[in-house]
C-alpha cells in the first residue's frame, strides 16, 4: 500500500485523465511534472463560496454565490462582428437574476435550461438592473461535489498556460486518486506531540478545506493543514543541515591547537586597545572551538565598526603559534589591502610573516609568494578570491577567515576550506542576518555576536533630503572640511547604466572640484579604475591628502577612515537597505560627530520611502536587516541567489519564521539523539536533491 502511494505521487501528470502530451508539456514548463509537484503547489488564496445567498438579498458591489435553476437563456449577436453575448436567467425560491458572459458562446451548450447551477461572482447594477458579469459557474449534479463553487475554493497562481481553473480541476482529480494512506516523513511521536495533522489530510485540506474552515486563517497560511505541510518542508530542510553538521563533526582535525600562557602573552602583545566585552566573549568562543578536535564552523556577526578584525587576528595568532598557516580572504582589493596593512603593522614585531595575494599581485612577486605559501614560510596570507585559485597551495593551512562572507559564493568558501586539512573556519559578516535566514543559510554554523561597539563611537545622524536641497548640503560639507574632516559622496552603480553613472560620478567630481570646493582636494574612485590608481586614491584619502572622495559603492565594505565624518549618498532611493547601512558605516568611525545624508530624486516609490525612513529611524543593524528582509524578500536579501537559500514549495521564510524555528529545534534534537531512520533519510536526500537543489547531504 505504501509503495502504491509513493508510486502515485511520482506518477507523471500525463497519466491523469484529460492530460495529453500537449498539456503535459505545458504543465512541465510551469514546473509541474509529477503528481506530487501538483499537490505541493498550494493555493495562494482562498475564497468562501460556500454560503449561498437568496437571490432577493443580493446587493450591488459585492461578491456572492447563489444556487438556482436556469430559467432561460439566449445567445445575442452584437453589432461587432463575431462578438457574442450569452445571457442566462437563474432563479431560486426568492427571485431571479440575469447572468451575462461576454464572448463565451460555447456556454449555450453547457448552461441549458432547467439545469441546477451555482453562480459565483461580482454583483453589478446598471440601467438594465442587477446582474452577474462573467461569473464563475458550476453545474450541480449528484455525483460531483463542488470544485469551483459552493465551498471554500482554492485559487492558484497562474503559471504559464496553466489556468487556475485547470489546476483546480487537476488537483481535485489527483486527490480523488490519491490512496487513503500515504507514507509520512514526520515521526509519529513528533506528530502527536506537536499536534500535526497526517500528511494525507494536510494535502487534501490545503487544497479543499472543510466547509467550516476560516478563510481568513487560510489566507494567513495558518490552517492546521497548511501549517503541517510548511513544517514538513522546513523539517526536511533542517534535517539535512543537522545531518551535515553531525557528519562534519565526526571528521577530526589533524592538529588540535593548544593555548598556554606563552600564547596568551603573544596575543596580548599585539593588542592595541582594550577589547570590548563583546569582542572578548567572541574571542573566547572562537578559541574554545579551536581547541576542540572537530573543525570549527563559526559565523562572527558584528555591526559595521564593531571590531571583528582584531578578534579574527587574535584567533589567527593562536593558530600560528601552533604552527598552522592562516588564510584571510576579503571580497575586494581595497579591503584586502587595508587588512594586510593593519595586520602587517600589528604583527611587525612578531616572528610571523604576513603576505598579500590579490589578482593584481605582479607575476614575479606572485611566483615567490606562492612558493612561500607552499613551503610554509608565509604564516598568514591576506587576499581576495585570488586565494582560491588552483596554483595556491598551503603547507599547513589550519585557520581560514572569510570576511564579509556573503560576498562570496558557496563554492568559493568551500574551495578555500578545501586547501587546508579540515581547517577551522571563521566567517565574518557586518550584514546582520535575520534569524530566519541564519536558520536556513547558516543552519550548520555556530554563531558569535559582537553586540557592542568600541567606546567613544557617536551614532551617525541620518538625514533624508530631496535633491533640490543640494546647496544646503554642500554648505554642511564645507563646514566639515574646514574643521579638518573628510567627506564621502557616493554614487550608485546600476549595471544597465554603468557607463552613464561612471560619467556622472566623474563629472560630478570635476564639477565639485572646480565650482563647489575649489579650496579642497576632490578625487574620484570607481571599480573600473586600474588597481594602482584605486590604491593611490584610497591611500591618499586615508592619509588625508584627498578630502572629498566621490565614489561608487566600492567603498561599501569595510573601508576604515576614521577622520571622515560626512557622507552624502546620491540617488539613495536606488539602494537596498542593507547596502545603505553598510555605506553609512564608513562614517562615525572616529571621535567626531558624523552625519549621513541620503539624497533622493523624486518621484520615489513607496518602497524607497520605506527604506529611507527605516534608515533615518534606526542605526541598529539587526533592526535594519529584519526590515530589509520584509521589504525585499529573502531571495534578494543578499543580492544574490548563490547564498544557498532553498527553493520552497509551501513555506515562506518571512511569513513562517516561527515554523522554521520549531523545525530547526526538532531536527537538531532528532539527529543528535540518533533518531534518523532509513525512511526519513531517503525523504531528506530526495528533497535536498530534487527540490532545494542544494549540495548533497550526508
Q: Which residues bind Mg ion (CB under 5 A)?
A: 558
Using an 8 Å Cβ cutoff, are 449 and 278 in contact?
yes
Q: Which is nearer to ligand ADP, 276 or 619 (CB)?
A: 276
Least separation, in Å, of the C-beta of 586 and ligand ADP? 10
Q: Which is nearer to ligand ADP, 242 or 300 (CB)?
A: 300
Q: Determine if the peptide bond prior to 138 is cis (ω within 30°).
A: no
Least separation, in Å, of the C-beta of 412 and Mg ion? 18
Least separation, in Å, of the C-beta of 406 and ligand ADP? 14
Footprint of ligand ADP (CB under 6 A): 273-276, 279, 302, 304-310, 430, 454, 558, 560, 589
Query: Among ligand ADP, Mg ion, none, what binds residue 276 when CB lies within 5 to 8 Å by partner kind?
Result: ligand ADP
Q: Which is nearer to Mg ion, 64 or 561 (CB)?
A: 561
Q: At what angle do helices 261-270 and 308-321 cross, to 10 degrees?
A: 140
Q: Which is nearer to ligand ADP, 558 or 634 (CB)?
A: 558
Least separation, in Å, of the C-beta of 486 and ligand ADP? 15
How far, CA to CA in Å, does 688 sit from each of 14, 51, 183, 597, 697?
A: 25, 42, 18, 45, 7
First to last CA, the chain: 29
**What's the number of CA atoms in the CB half-sphere (13 Å) around residue 2?**
4
Using an 8 Å Cβ cutoff, are 574 and 494 in contact?
yes
Q: Which is nearer to ligand ADP, 531 or 563 (CB)?
A: 563
Conformation bin of residue 493: beta by default, left when phi > 0, alpha when psi is -120 to 50 = beta
Chain residue whose CB lies nearest Mg ion: 558
Q: Which is nearer to ligand ADP, 339 or 385 (CB)?
A: 339
The C-alpha cell that represents 252 in the structure block: 577530526
Nearest to 670 by CA among 298, 296, 188, 297: 188
Report strand pairing: 461-466 vs 325-329: unpaired
Query: 365: which residues sit within 8 A by CB, 6+ positions away?
Result: none
Alpha-helical regions (H) of 386-492: 410-418, 435-441, 470-482
Query: Among Mg ion, ligand ADP, none, what binds residue 275 when CB lies within 5 to 8 Å by partner kind?
Result: ligand ADP
Least separation, in Å, of the C-beta of 320 and Mg ion? 20
Q: Determine whether 514 is exposed, middle or buried from the number of CB atoms within 10 Å of its CB (0-12, 13-18, 19+).
A: exposed
Least separation, in Å, of the C-beta of 267 and ligand ADP? 14
Nearest to 131 by CA among 58, 68, 67, 48: 58
Query: Among Mg ion, ligand ADP, none, what binds residue 398 when CB lies within 5 to 8 Å by partner kind?
Result: none
Query: Among ligand ADP, Mg ion, none, what binds residue 232 when CB lies within 5 to 8 Å by partner kind?
Result: none
Least separation, in Å, of the C-beta of 314 and ligand ADP? 11
Q: Which is nearer to ligand ADP, 244 or 308 (CB)?
A: 308
Chain residue whose CB lies nearest ligand ADP: 307
Least separation, in Å, of the C-beta of 402 and Mg ion? 11
Q: Which is nearer to Mg ion, 307 or 420 (CB)?
A: 307
Q: Determine whether 456 is exposed, middle or buried from the number of CB atoms within 10 Å of its CB (0-12, 13-18, 19+).
A: exposed
Amino acid at each position: 500500500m505504501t509503495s502504491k502511494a509513493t508510486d502515485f505521487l511520482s506518477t507523471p501528470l500525463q497519466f491523469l485523465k484529460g492530460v495529453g502530451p500537449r498539456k503535459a508539456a505545458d504543465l512541465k514548463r510551469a514546473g509541474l511534472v509529477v503528481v506530487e509537484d501538483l499537490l505541493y503547489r498550494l493555493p495562494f488564496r482562498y475564497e468562501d463560496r460556500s454560503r449561498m445567498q437568496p437571490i432577493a438579498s443580493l446587493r450591488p458591489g459585492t461578491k456572492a454565490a447563489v444556487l438556482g435553476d436556469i430559467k432561460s437563456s439566449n445567445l445575442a449577436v452584437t453589432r461587432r462582428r463575431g462578438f457574442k453575448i450569452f445571457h442566462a436567467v437563474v432563479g431560486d425560491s426568492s427571485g431571479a437574476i440575469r447572468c451575462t458572459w461576454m464572448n463565451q458562446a460555447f456556454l449555450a451548450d453547457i448552461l441549458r435550461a432547467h439545469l441546477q447551477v451555482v453562480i459565483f461572482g461580482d454583483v453589478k447594477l446598471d440601467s438594465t438592473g442587477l446582474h452577474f458579469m462573467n461569473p464563475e459557474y458550476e453545474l450541480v449534479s449528484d455525483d460531483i461535489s463542488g470544485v469551483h463553487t459552493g465551498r471554500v475554493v482554492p485559487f492558484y497562481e497562474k503559471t504559464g498556460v496553466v489556468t487556475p481553473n485547470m489546476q483546480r480541476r487537476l488537483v481535485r482529480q489527483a486527490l480523488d486518486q490519491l490512496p487513503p494512506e500515504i507514507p509520512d516523513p514526520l515521526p509519529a511521536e513528533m506528530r502527536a506531540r506537536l499536534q500535526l495533522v497526517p500528511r494525507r489530510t494536510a494535502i487534501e485540506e490545503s487544497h479543499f478545506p472543510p466547509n467550516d474552515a476560516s478563510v481568513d486563517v487560510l489566507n494567513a497560511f495558518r490552517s492546521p493543514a497548511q501549517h503541517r505541510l510548511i513544517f514538513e518542508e522546513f523539517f526536511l530542510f533542517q534535517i539535512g543541515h543537522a545531518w551535515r553538521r553531525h557528519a562534519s563533526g565526526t571528521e577530526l582535525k589533524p592538529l588540535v591547537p593548544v593555548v598556554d600562557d606563552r600564547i596568551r602573552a603573544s596575543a596580548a602583545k599585539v593588542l592595541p586597545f582594550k577589547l570590548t566585552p563583546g569582542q572578548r566573549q567572541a574571542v573566547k568562543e572562537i578559541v574554545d572551538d579551536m581547541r576542540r578536535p572537530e573543525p570549527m564552523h563559526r559565523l562572527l556577526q558584528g555591526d559595521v565598526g564593531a571590531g571583528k578584525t582584531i578578534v579574527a587576528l587574535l584567533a589567527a595568532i593562536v593558530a600560528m603559534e601552533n604552527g598552522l598557516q592562516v588564510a584571510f580572504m576579503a571580497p575586494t582589493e581595497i579591503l584586502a589591502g587595508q587588512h594586510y596593512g593593519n595586520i602587517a603593522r600589528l604583527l611587525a614585531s612578531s616572528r610571523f610573516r604576513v603576505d598579500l595575494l590579490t589578482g593584481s599581485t605582479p607575476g614575479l612577486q606572485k611566483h615567490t609568494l606562492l612558493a612561500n605559501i607552499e613551503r610554509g614560510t608565509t604564516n598568514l596570507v591576506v587576499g581576495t578570491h585570488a586565494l582560491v585559485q588552483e596554483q595556491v597551495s598551503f603547507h599547513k593551512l589550519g585557520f581560514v577567515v572569510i570576511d564579509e562572507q556573503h560576498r562570496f559564493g558557496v563554492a568559493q568558501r568551500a574551495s578555500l576550506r578545501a586547501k587546508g586539512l579540515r581547517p577551522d573556519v571563521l566567517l565574518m559578516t557586518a550584514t546582520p542576518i535575520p534569524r530566519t535566514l541564519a536558520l536556513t543559510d547558516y543552519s550548520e554554523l555556530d554563531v558569535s555576536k559582537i553586540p557592542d561597539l568600541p567606546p567613544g563611537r557617536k551614532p551617525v545622524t541620518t538625514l533624508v533630503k530631496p535633491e533640490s536641497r543640494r546647496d544646503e548640503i554642500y554648505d554642511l560639507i564645507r563646514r566639515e572640511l574646514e574643521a579638518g574632516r573628510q567627506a564621502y559622496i557616493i554614487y550608485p552603480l546600476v549595471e544597465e547604466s554603468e557607463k552613464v553613472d561612471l560619467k556622472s560620478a566623474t563629472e560630478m567630481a570635476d564639477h565639485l572640484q572646480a565650482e563647489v570646493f575649489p579650496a579642497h582636494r576632490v578625487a574620484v574612485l570607481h571599480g573600473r579604475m586600474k588597481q594602482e590608481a584605486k590604491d593611490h586614491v584610497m591611500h591618499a584619502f586615508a592619509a588625508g591628502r584627498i578630502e572629498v572622495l566621490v565614489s561608487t559603492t566600492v567603498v561599501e565594505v569595510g573601508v576604515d577612515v576614521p577622520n571622515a565624518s560626512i557622507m552624502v549618498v546620491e540617488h539613495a532611493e536606488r539602494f537596498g537597505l542593507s547596502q545603505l547601512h553598510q555605506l553609512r558605516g564608513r562614517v562615525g568611525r572616529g571621535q567626531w560627530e558624523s552625519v549621513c545624508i541620503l539624497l533622493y530624486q523624486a518621484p520615489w516609490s513607496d518602497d524607497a520611502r520605506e527604506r529611507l525612513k527605516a534608515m533615518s529611524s534606526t542605526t541598529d543593524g539587526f533592526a535594519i536587516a529584519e526590515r530589509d528582509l520584509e521589504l525585499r524578500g529573502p531571495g534578494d536579501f543578499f543580492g544574490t541567489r548563490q547564498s544557498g537559500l532553498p527553493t520552497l514549495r509551501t513555506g515562506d521564510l518571512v511569513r513562517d519564521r516561527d515554523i522554521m524555528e520549531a523545525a530547526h529545534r526538532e531536527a537538531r534534537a532528532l539527529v543528535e539523539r540518533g533518531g534518523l531512520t532509513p525512511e526519513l533519510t531517503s525523504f531528506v536526500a530526495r528533497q535536498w536533491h530534487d527540490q532545494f537543489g542544494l549540495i548533497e547531504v550526508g
